[in-house]
Amino acid sequence: MRKLDFILTIVGFFNLYSCQQIRPLPNPLINIQCGQNSFIRNVNLVPTTRPNQPVPTTCTYKIHAISGFICQMRFELTEFSLLAPEISPFPRCVDESMTVGNVTLCGVNHGQHFYVPINPLRGERFLEMTITTRSMPNNFNQRSTWRISVHQLECPLGQSRGVKSSNAISASENDSILPIRQPRLGLFSDWVAPQGCLQYFPHANGTVESFNLNNGIGPYIADMHYAICFRRTRANTAISFIPMIFRMGYAVVSANNTGYDEACYSTTPTPGRPEDYLFIPNAMADATDTQPPFRATRFCAQSVLSHLITSSPLGPFMIYFNSDTLYEAPTKEEIGFRFDYEIV
Torsion sign across C-alpha atoms 261, 263, 267, 269:
negative
User: What is the pLDDT, as a whole number, of residue 7?
Assistant: 37
User: What is the pLDDT, as a whole number, of residue 2?
Assistant: 45
Tell me which residue of 60, 216, 45, 74 sits closest to 145, measured CA to CA.
Answer: 45
Question: In the CATH scheme, what is the code of domain 31-192?
Answer: 2.60.120.290
Three-class DSSP category at 18:
helix
Mention every residue, 6+ apart, whose C-beta is less than 8 A from residue 280: 241, 296, 297, 299, 309, 311, 319
Q: Where are the alpha helices (DSSP H) in the chain?
A: 3-19, 171-177
CATH of 206-343, one of 1.10.540.10, 2.60.120.290, 1.10.260.40, 2.40.40.20: 2.60.120.290
Backbone angles phi, psi at 142, to 5 degrees: -95, -5
Q: Is 16 exposed, middle or buried (0-12, 13-18, 19+ CB in 10 A)?
A: exposed
Rounded CA gap, 213 and 339, in Å?
12
Residues of the chain below pLDDT 70: 1-20, 50-56, 135-142, 158-187
Mention every residue, 6+ apart, whose C-beta is less than 8 A from residue 250: 259, 263, 264, 274, 276, 300, 301, 332
User: What is the pLDDT, as a whole number, of residue 188?
Assistant: 81
User: What is the pLDDT, as a whole number, of residue 175?
Assistant: 39
| Residues of each domain in the chain carrying CATH 2.60.120.290 | 31-192, 206-343
